[in-house]
Chains A and B, each alone.
Chain A
Amino acid sequence: MGGECCPPQQWRRRPRAGASSRSRFRQRRCPRPRWRRPAAARGAGGRRAGPGMGNALGPAAPRAPRRGEPLGSPGSFDELHRQCKEVFPQQMEGVKLIVTKTLSSHFQVTHTVHMSTLGPSSYHFNATFVGDRQLGPTEAFPTLIGDMDNSGSLNAQVLHLVAERIRTKAVFQTHQTKFVTWQFDGEYRGDDCTATLTLGNPDLLGESVILVAHFLQSITSRLVLGGEMVYHRRPGEEGAILTLAGKYTALKWVATLNVGYGGAHASYYHRANEQVQVGVELEANTRLQDTTFAFGYQLNLPQANMVFRGLLDSNWSVGGVLEKKLPPLPVTLALGAFLNHWKNRFHCGFSVIVG
């Protein structure tokens, strides 16, 4: 009995009337579980316990492996549409020179000179420090990023891993001498869920704050559901907006949808093959009473060291950016052009990236 589960109860017929008063209904009961030292502490020869009886009669045998695929972490809420957005080309105008220098395995600096045709030209200095704790190819902690331009405006970020599953982020933005943004994030990443709390521009004296809460849950290995709640408060005004989000990831495509009171955002990413990726996006804003559609594609030709991204949207804009690496030099040349047929505007640009 020690090595078995409780045997099934044995039932007998009820005694007939007039029969012996001694009940013939017997029920074999399991003995009360008693705690015993684990077999390893007891030494060899201890009784082997059955499944689920670890506490009563010794250590439990290992359970059978759980059926089904592991759910996987759903990632961050801000990265729901990332794959689709990366297909679209970035707007380019004027001439840009970007020089990146890696000073050590932890420290990197970047100089950016932008000669603009639409606005004032600028120079940016960027410094990045990356710590020892690396969780993935693009995730390392702590990470400190600072970017300052020629007018004295600063953009700084600090990312830190407080615990195994808890990461924090602080963002500061200044426009010359005035603080524009100060934001603090706390994120919990579980095995199949992510929860984030963001505090935006908290001002105790001015009694204003923006609070953003995100939650994502992996329902299956392919389906992620979640939501976002934005609460803002200012003297004399406060409000909240709830947005629901869903993401379905298949082998070759990803579909994502955000729906809320303020509007909707749908995106579809399709990886046709190793060379061609396509992204389709739809955004509807009920407050601005505006909707936009965009179609983008990316062509990768590693044999030619070339990447081309094209764009077509409902604002009658077409554009494209061609990036070409120039081996053996560590140089990338990018050429871009965008044309808005409706507003009859055209702008083009090129950039040289060194390092």
Chain B
Amino acid sequence: MLQIWVPRKPYYVHVYQEIWGGMGLMGFIVYKVKSAGTRSNALKVLSPESAHGHH
């Protein structure tokens, strides 16, 4: 395991710094999208009659 990671250490530490930041941005977007989906599902469960009853 160590002999796989040691040659790649300069990449992970120096070269890909910006990519780690980009991955953080992507994780933030994923979190936002998932939380919005969960929130809309929860709202649908809580008030289905208010969602579908006003036709």
Q: Do A and B come from one complex?
A: no
